[in-house]
A and B are shown apart, each in its own frame.
Chain A
C-alpha cells in the first residue's frame, strides 16, 4: 500500500480519471455529455500510456545533435552530460523517455478525434429526427412509435 502511494500514484490518479469518464458515459442520459465522458476516458488512457513511458530524470526523445555529423551516435549520446542528473548505469549517458508510447498515443489522439466527429454527427442526426438529444425522451418516442406501428397491423 505504501509503495502504491510513493511509486505508483500515477496509476491511481489515472484510474480515478478513467472511471470518472466511464461514469459520465454510463450515467448521463444526454448524448453530448456522453461523448464528453468518452473523450475524458480516452485522454485518461493516453495518460496511462505516457506515464508508463516516463523515465525519471529523462529528457524528451529528441536527440540533440551538434554540427552536421549526426551519423555518429556515440557523440550524440555523450553530447549533453551536464544537464541531467542521471540515474543510468553510466553517469555520462543522456536519458530519454520511451518514445514508443508517444507514437502510439499520437495516432490514438487523431483517431479519437475522428471517432468523436462521427459520434457528434450521429448526435446531430438524432436531434434532427427526434428533436432531442436526451436518451430518455428518445426511448419514449421510440416506444410510442413502435406501439402505433403494432396497433396498425
Chain B
C-alpha cells in the first residue's frame, strides 16, 4: 500500500485539482439562475470529468464523455433552452429545506458505506481481480486487437452494445414523435374539452371566436366563457346520460 501511494504521487496533485474543480463547478451550478450559464457549466463539468477519466486510465470513456457528454448533450440542452426562458425563477428557502435534508441523509448513509469499499487504486480489490482482468489476458489470444475496451464492447458484450443501439434508436424515435413527426412542431396547444391549459383562464375555442368578432377584449374571461361553458355542460350531461343508459 505504501508503494501504491508512492507510485501515484505525481498524478495525485492533478487528481486533487480536478476533483476540486468538479466540486466548485457543481456547487456553482446549484447557485446559478441563468440557464445559459448552467448549461455551459454542465459542459465544463463533463469536460473536467473527462480529464479525470484520462488520469484514471479510462481513455475510451474520456473521449466518449468529451464528445457525447460535453459536446452533444450541451448542444441538445442549448437547443432546448432557446425555446424556453433564459432565467430560472428563484426557489424559496422553505422549498429547499426538505431536499437538503434528504440529500444530507442520503450522503451520510453513503459516507457510512465508504468503509466497506476497496482502497483507491487497490490492485487486489474484488473488482480488479475478477472477470475484468481476465478480459485482458483473453483479448490478445481471442480477439487479436490491442484495445481491450473495444474488444469487450464489440465482441464479448456485443449483445449489450446491440441493446444500446436499440435504446438510442427508440430514443430518437421518441424525440421525433414528441417534437412532431408531422411537421406540426411548435404549433401544438393542449385544449382538452375545448379549454386551453395555457394561458390559464383562457376562453375556449368557440368563445374566443366571439371575442374577436365583437372586438370587446376588455370583457372578463369568465363573462365570455358563460355561453360556451353552459353548452359543454349540457353536452356532457347528455353524454353521461348515454353512458348511464348503456
Contact = CB atoms under 8 A, between A and B. Distances in A.
A78 interface: no
Interface residues of A, number: 106
Interface in A114-151: 114-118, 120-125, 127-134, 136, 140-142, 144-145, 148-149
Q: How large is the interface on B (under 10, 10 to 19, 20 to 34, 35 or more residues)?
A: 35 or more
Interface string B108-136: 00110011011111110101100111011
Contacts of A13: 19, 22-23
B14 interface: no
A50 B35 CA distance: 30
Contacts of A124: 80, 83-84, 178-179
B127 A53 contact: yes
Contact of A70 (B19, B146, B229): B146
A64 B111 CA distance: 39
A8 B110 contact: no
B164 A110 contact: yes
Contacts of B190: 129
Interface of A: 3-4, 6-13, 15-24, 26-33, 35-37, 39-40, 43, 46-47, 50-65, 70-73, 76, 85, 87-88, 95-103, 105-107, 109-118, 120-125, 127-134, 136, 140-142, 144-145, 148-149, 152-153
Interface of B: 1, 3-5, 7-8, 15, 19, 22-23, 26-27, 29-30, 35, 38-39, 42, 45-46, 49, 52-53, 56-61, 64-65, 68-69, 72-73, 76-77, 79-81, 83-85, 88-89, 91, 95-96, 98-100, 102-104, 106-107, 110-111, 114-115, 117-123, 125, 127-128, 131-133, 135-137, 139-141, 144, 146-149, 152-153, 157, 160-161, 164, 167-168, 170-172, 174-175, 178-179, 186, 188-190, 193, 195, 197-201, 229, 232-233, 236
